[in-house]
A and B are shown apart, each in its own frame.
Chain A
Amino acid sequence: MSAEDVLVGRSVGDLIAEFPYVENYFAAIRLEVLDPSRSVVEILNEHPEEYFHDYGTSRADLAADIVDFVEQVRSQTEDRLGAITSVTVLPGRDKAGRPEACGLTVRPGEVTCIVGPTGAGKSRLLEDIECLAQTDTPSGRRVLINGAEPTDEQRYDLGHRLVAQLTQNMNFVIDLPAGEFIALHAESREVASPERVAVEVIAGANSLAGEPIDPATPVTQLSGGQSRALMIADTALLSASPIVLIDEIENAGIDRRRALDLLVGRDKIVLMSTHDPILALLGDRRVVIEGGGVRSVLATTEAERANLAFLTAVDEQLRDLRDRIRRGERVESDLAEEFTECWKTRASRSGDGPLR
């Protein structure tokens, strides 16, 4: 589409009908469209010099911006991320300058756990991925996207969109009801019907949290479990980022297995910093970090998977115990016997296999 076509060739009404997002753009720059049958240039001419000046632009510059914006929307360059089929980290050096034992490759639909003591270098590994390191970070690692070196442009362009993060410190701070807020997020992603997507996201969150979320409840007033569930569902269904980094999913008030299923089901590459044995064994592999370097990568073995069923049973037993304490009951029964009995029944059942 030529600049002339955007600026004078058609009415603003037509432009908005074809590219609905243009309307949001005009709203953001407070460009008043009183008569949509006029062209962009006519509308710009209706605005006084002062409008452009206050906004830090000129009539000609803003016209050029609008042309660029329409072109961007038209060519869908918003989504230059493309399909990411793999992210590879080639080994570098640890904090002492020794060569790293190994690198790693992660793919959509996989859960990779990152383990190691505090300060071992987990965040440095993540930052290397985030900035698509090319032997220019202190670790000397090199990150490949789909097996190839990213271009300089990709490094800056992907940087802030590659990794979505979910940590326990994160809160909702916006003063909006849950439904409206998720719709706002959907809108910013230029999703066709934001309201419908918001309903889907809240349903997704409700499948993870014990207590259902009312879309009319302000996000800041959700319980801990509810906001965590909403964050996970929103990241799975709406986030632009192909990689999701999770810093431990706390045990309380959320179905962790389903949470991972939801992310994996949406083809996210999940990196999870955890020392919880159940979460660790649910993953496809564990990356062991030590002294700033990757010491080894352990693929989850069949024997480990087999232990998952047992661990899940223990976890359920403990959850029952917590509920009994919560209800004000005494815990005087022979727990050792109770637990053993439960494991025996559980062991004869199946269905605690790996994800999906």
Chain B
Amino acid sequence: MKFVTVAGPPSAGKTSVILNTIGRLRERGLESGVIKFDCLSSSDAATYRRHGITAKVGLAGNLCPDHFFITNVDQAVQWGRRQGLDVLISESAGLCNRCSPHVKDVLAVCVIDNLAGVGTPDKIGPMLRFADVIVVTKGDIVSQAEREVFTAGIRKVNRLARIIPVNGITGQGAFALGRCIADTGDTDSLLTRHLRFTLPSALCSYCVGQTRIDPAFQAGNLRRIRFDT
């Protein structure tokens, strides 16, 4: 089974891109499923199922979504294999821009949208920087000039990735993404694999339920802004 990680900021259009791409993969005779990692709630599984696509949602609740992802992802791959899928797509939102769900030797896709502003490629970290494919959405509503400035911004932080503009509404561009996925090799297990980059770390009093704002109650892995410089 082929496995792909798709990550991107909320509302960038990941679900639309995935839906269109799955349609293109079907034309090639590949049956795809989706494992969606989300935080509090998600209606995406219902959306996928409406399109006849096998889908499952995992909710992180109060855990860091990335840590939740990595502790469940291999089980997700095993689930996908049991479903008899040809392709399993993992969809997760990069909520803090420091997220990096990409795994070494597993096709890594980052979805960002042209409306996010020209400074965005700079602000998104490893999720974009370590992607093999960068899908840029919502190009149909911004000017050509802005699209080109945006693409140049992406190139500054990730020189080698393939950049694929996809229109989430018409599906234009999904063919090229489908081709990337169809060309990728099989991943039957993620055991012993490594992440491309470390996950955001935190281990402090707030991780275990502290709510009070007071240095005396702040312990663990902390970093403070220097206001004296």
Residues of A whose CB lies within 8 Å of any CB of B are: 24-25, 28-29, 53-57, 65, 68-69, 72, 123, 126-127, 130-131, 136-138, 156, 159-160, 164-167, 169-174, 181-182, 184-185, 188-189, 227, 231, 234-235, 238-241
**CB–CB A170/B159 < 8 A:** no
In the bound complex, residues from chain B placing their C-beta under 8 Å from that of A159 are: 162-164, 176
**A137-B175, A159-B164, A188-B148 known; A234-B126 Cβ under 8 A:** no
Scoring B residues 130 to 160 as 1 if CB is less than 8 Å from chain A, else 0, what string do you get? 1000001001111111101101110011010
CB proximity of A117 to chain B, nearest CB, Å? 16
> Known contacts being A127-B175, A159-B176, A188-B152, is A173 close to B146, with CB within 8 Å?
yes
Tell me if A234 and B142 are in contact (CB < 8 A).
no
Whether B159 pairs with A65 at a CB distance below 8 angstroms is yes
A123-B170, A130-B173, A174-B118 given; A231·B143 CB < 8 A: yes
CB contact between A156 and one of B145, B146, B157, B176 (< 8 Å): that residue: B176
- Find the residue from A68, A156, A231 having the highest chain B CB count within 10 A: A156
B140 touches A170 (CB 8 A): yes
CA distance in complex: A130, B163 (Å): 13
Chain A interface mostly helix, strand, loop or mixed? helix
The range of chain B's interface size is 35 or more
- The answer to whether B143 touches A171, judged by C-beta atoms less than 8 angstroms apart, is yes
Q: Which 9 A-B pairs have the closest CB atoms?
A: A188-B152, A56-B126, A28-B156, A185-B145, A164-B144, A234-B145, A188-B149, A156-B162, A160-B163
Q: How near does chain A come to B131, taking the closest CB pair, in angstroms?
A: 11
Complex: A131 Cα to B170 Cα, angstroms: 15
CB nearest to B180 among chain A residues: A156
Q: How many A-B residue pairs have CB under 8 A?
A: 109
The distance from the CB of A319 to the nearest CB of chain B, in whole angstroms, is: 26
Q: A29-B157, A123-B172, A240-B148 given as contacts; is B179 within 8 A of A136 (CB)?
A: yes
Question: Is B27 on the interface with A (CB-CB < 8 A)?
Answer: yes
- A69-B159, A131-B176 known; A56 and B125 CB under 8 Å? yes
Bound-state Cα–Cα, A238 to B147, Å? 12
Jot down 10 A-B pairs with beta carbons below 8 A, ordered by A. A68-B159, A159-B176, A170-B144, A172-B146, A173-B142, A188-B152, A189-B148, A189-B152, A234-B143, A239-B145
Q: Which of chain B's residues has its CB closest to A78's CB?
A: B155
Q: Is B2 an interface residue (CB 8 A)?
A: no
For B87-108 the 0/1 string (1 means CB < 8 A from A) is 0000000000000100000000
